[in-house]
Structure 1
């Protein structure tokens, strides 16, 4: 999309070629290498597959100083570019001077030119290894751009939230904090005596992690109270409760209500971690305050403009980083 063909025809192709292993080895540090501003695509090799990553470079970037990175994972039957449109991370990245990155799934979506993730516990074995791909995507971004590796953040929408949740559950330590929109998970769904809950054996994070999550009470895809397709089952509150346990949060949370928005903050967690949960009473399976993809509201439910999820997530990241 924006500037894609121009960038791939210019210097970005050199970085792409190096990452593919076709000619030379990517630099161990991506600093001191100018990049054209705007959105572009790169390709990397992960395992035996060539994978796609969309990224956005702010106009103030010159490669002379390390900058934060936000990884943004799209939902099922979507794409990297569609997710950047949905989340509008480019707007915040331009204003704040960080890089926005959207890796793309490889499993075919239900519509042409859309993709889904091979999230553990969701899809059948034998598909692409998306846990390895996330790791490889982070390494490729670190090698290509001037990145502050203490300020790498992850966000996920819907199925992107599932895959990001599981990546963290697997004990990785790449992300300094994470944000989830209608997709927070805390392990595979497990039924015990007729009740669905996160399976503790499938979520063992390496350390307490600060996270912020958004959920809509009118979400019909990932129902707030549980249900939906087999890979959802337990609801938003069950996922949140499990993370407060994983993060060792103590004491009563702070609760604020403002119209349709109810925000719960857990500030006293292990390792200085914090958890913020925002629930929107009339929100659907949508990204709050997104101005893109409005045509999908019939299928996904209402987009609430009572709170801007992207702005709120970035403010959370700024205070969560070391």
Structure 2
């Protein structure tokens, strides 16, 4: 039987400025911002309170058993871990896990952190006192972490997850080969911790926001710190998100370190398969032991997109399982991942491009040139545009055309028969003997004539072009390049991956 996802209309509270307003619980209130979006509190979400570990702490968790659950079938289970200062029910309404579960028939459990609404997670020894002492964080707006006690497997919250897994197996018909864990913000850090130390019990892990401190991933010799083994990994990053200050490393370093940790462990060191659709930038690294997916979301703040659960389920969880010996198995996912078949990526100073996902030589080097206005500015100037340039002969061939001549003047014939002519220093070109202005002048360097790649792709082929920093991505569909994807692509084209955090 197929179940339909039903979106419930809510009572929109635009005046809300609280991270998680308590009044939402059990109500029809919904709130939205550029990092988190809520749904109406699900009627089938049940609260459970018990000293389940027998250590005097009354833990709280929430179970979602969809109407579509069939107790006669082995059923997948998803743990979803809330962010700092949140709750299990808050994580449920700030995601679409319950909606996806209703359609697909799997179960969800949303635990509460046991103390101060903050998970007990590993901390960098050098920053331990600073980040676990409220007085030292006073006025910073940063909540104090719970001071870790014992080893990671001994942490109360880690033992809680494992006990809840045991409980869910006793209570429901759980498919032990298809148990997954996902988290948001601090819940992502908690998910990463569980994956690294208790990963043998989970087929895959996913998370949004808050990458892990790289000092907890690699030892002083750059070796991986891991007790859980390979597993499929999904990392969602939000373009405007920031790495916690106490990590002591910048956003690029930390995010790349987190991706590379799992790439190394999973044997996924090859080139990524790239799919940029709308604002979602997906980079899939297929591995010998397991896969790694990076999703970077353009123009998004800290949190998780409302469809993050749907994306994770459709492209990862729905097709991965783990056998008792720890082998990761892949089956067709609900939606097949398809890399962009018609796309071009360029980055400044690179001598190669990614054309339809494959590195190809440019026959030159990409450079940037500004379009200036200086008339009437009394010797001053304004930059009206800034463009990445590529050899026109390369661009023509990339689109199936041919180069007829090159140098201070150049002619190319496009695959549809159009004949284009260019001249060094001229902002115009001719198309079938008709003058047309480009966005910036043609430039000849080392005997090769260059034109703005954005103009060529957009004006001649109606491709969508977007840029971040030194990188351009053009595709035959709507695609907006985001910053983490741009950094990863740039390092591939400049052959700098080996120097990234965590790489050997």
Deviation at 1:60, TM superposition (A): 2.4
Q: CA RMSD in A?
A: 2.5
> Using the alignment, how far apart are the partners of 2:99 and 2:193 within structure 1?
28
Answer yes or no: is 1:39 the counterpart of 2:45. Answer: yes
Match of 2:293 among 276, 281, 284: 276
Contact residue 199 and residue 231 of structure 2 kept, 8 A:
no
**Matches for 1:150-165 after TM superposition, within 5 Å:** 150-165=177-192
Answer yes or no: is 1:256 the counterpart of 2:256. Answer: no
SS in 2 for 1:276: strand
> Using the alignment, how far apart are the partners of 2:107 and 2:249 within structure 1?
31
Deviation at 1:74, TM superposition (A): 0.3
Structure 1: any 5+ residue segments left out of the alignment? Answer: 4-36, 109-114, 192-196, 291-307
TM-score if structure 2 supplies the norm length?
Answer: 0.46
Match of 1:213 among 223, 235, 250: 235
> Using the alignment, how far apart are the partners of 1:260 and 1:61 within structure 2?
33
> Using the alignment, how far apart are the partners of 2:199 and 2:99 within structure 1?
29
Partner of 2:483: none
Partner of 1:287: 304
SS in 2 for 1:135: helix
Contact residue 88 and residue 110 of structure 2 kept, 8 A:
yes
**Residues 1:203 and 1:59: Cα distance change in structure 2 (over 3 Å):** same
Deviation at 1:73, TM superposition (A): 0.3
Deviations 1:8-45 (A, max 9, x none): xxxxxxxxxxxxxxxxxxxxxxxxxxxxx811022341
**Matches for 1:225-236 after TM superposition, within 5 Å:** 226-230=243-247, 235-236=254-255
Deviation at 1:309, TM superposition (A): 1.2
Deviations 1:256-283 (A, max 9, x none): 223433211112x132x11110112311
**Residues 1:43 and 1:143: Cα distance change in structure 2 (over 3 Å):** farther
Deviation at 1:63, TM superposition (A): 2.1
Answer yes or no: is 1:118 the counterpart of 2:103. Answer: no
**Matches for 1:72-151 after TM superposition, within 5 Å:** 72-108=80-116, 115-121=117-123, 123-126=146-149, 129-151=156-178
TM-score if structure 1 supplies the norm length?
Answer: 0.71
> Using the alignment, how far apart are the partners of 1:57 and 1:171 within structure 2?
24
Farther-moved stretch of structure 1 (122-131 vs 141-150): 122-131
> Using the alignment, how far apart are the partners of 2:264 and 2:294 within structure 1?
14
> Using the alignment, how far apart are the partners of 2:167 and 2:237 within structure 1?
31
> Using the alignment, how far apart are the partners of 2:207 and 2:278 within structure 1?
21
Partner of 1:240: 259
Contact residue 73 and residue 161 of structure 1 kept, 8 A:
yes
Deviation at 1:106, TM superposition (A): 1.5
Aligned pair count reads 251
Contact residue 264 and residue 278 of structure 1 kept, 8 A:
yes
Contact residue 152 and residue 175 of structure 1 kept, 8 A:
yes
**Matches for 1:9-24 after TM superposition, within 5 Å:** none
Deviations 1:199-247 (A, max 9, x none): 466731432110111101201xxx2xx4524498652222111211111
SS in 1 for 2:176: strand
Partner of 1:21: none
> Using the alignment, how far apart are the partners of 1:175 and 1:142 within structure 2?
13
SS in 2 for 1:173: helix
Partner of 1:203: 225
Deviations 1:119-168 (A, max 9, x none): 12264134962111111111111111111111111001011111111112
**Residues 1:152 and 1:250: Cα distance change in structure 2 (over 3 Å):** same
Say which structure, 1 or 2, has more relative contact order (CA 8 Å, 6+ apart): 1
Deviation at 1:55, TM superposition (A): 0.8
SS in 2 for 1:270: coil
**Matches for 1:47-58 after TM superposition, within 5 Å:** 47-48=54-55, 49-58=57-66
